Every structure is written in C-alpha cells, then in structure tokens.
Amino acid sequence: MAPRMTVQTLLVLQALLHDPGKELYGLEISEETGLLPGTAYPILLRLEREGWVTSRWEDIDPHAEKRPARRYYSLTASGAAQASAACASARRPRRAALRRLAGEGGTI
C-alpha cells in the first residue's frame, strides 16, 4: 500500500531522492525540506512502515564524538523507484484540476 502523498511527504521523498545512495539523518532532512524534525519524523516512520525507507543508528561512541548518535535514513531500492514515480506524478497537475482552475477565471 502506498503511503498518503502529502506535500510534506513529497518534500521528504525529494530530499532523499536528491542522492538516493546517500543516507541522511533527521536534522539534514529537516534542513533539506524546511520541515521541523518533529514534523518529518512521523512521515519517515510511515515511509519506513511501507518499506520505502530504511533507517539505522549511527555506530559511534557518543562520549568520544561528544554528541548523541544520529539515526540515518535512506531509500530502499523499491522505495526509490516508487518515490520517483510519486514525485513525477505529483509534478504533473491533472487536466481536470487545470480545467477547474481555468473555469474559475484562469486561462490555460
């Protein structure tokens, strides 16, 4: 089942799709999307539940690094394909929606 595609979900997917091989941690995703980390977290949880995203804890010694471990997120192979499709279809407005816009006074 595909996750619900909100604008915020698309922003998170676009951030992860920017370099699909790269892992991003919560704060990086937040900076890339402009969403606050608390808002991005449930979206990532949902994407992870659907198998689009995978995550892992960073393997560091927090005392040596003087910071807590980060949780890194990346797209799975199937997730990357589905995310690209979702972002591509989201970029293309539906004709019906455009006609409605035109009917409300705009022109196409």
| Residue ranges in 79-108 that form contacts with other proteins under rule CB under 8 A | none
- Applying CB under 8 A, does 2 fall inside the site for other proteins? no
State the Cα angle at 44 between 39 and 48, rounded to 5°: 160
Q: Please state the closest distance from residue 92 (CB atom) to other proteins, in A.
A: 28
Question: How many angstroms separate the CA atoms of 78 and 73, rounded?
Answer: 15
Strand order in the sheet with 53-57: 24-25, 71-75, 53-57
**Min. distance of Cβ 87 from other proteins in angstroms?**
21
Tell me which stretch binds other proteins (CB under 8 A): 9-17, 22-30, 84-92, 95-103.
22-30
Q: For residues 63 and 14, is the Cβ–Cβ distance under 8 A?
A: no
Query: What character string, x for contact with other proteins (CB under 8 A) and - otherwise, covers 65-84?
Result: --xxxxx-------------
- Cβ-contact 62, 12 below 8 angstroms: no
In the complex, the residues that contact other proteins under the rule CB under 8 A are 25-27, 30, 36-39, 41-42, 45-46, 48-49, 67-71
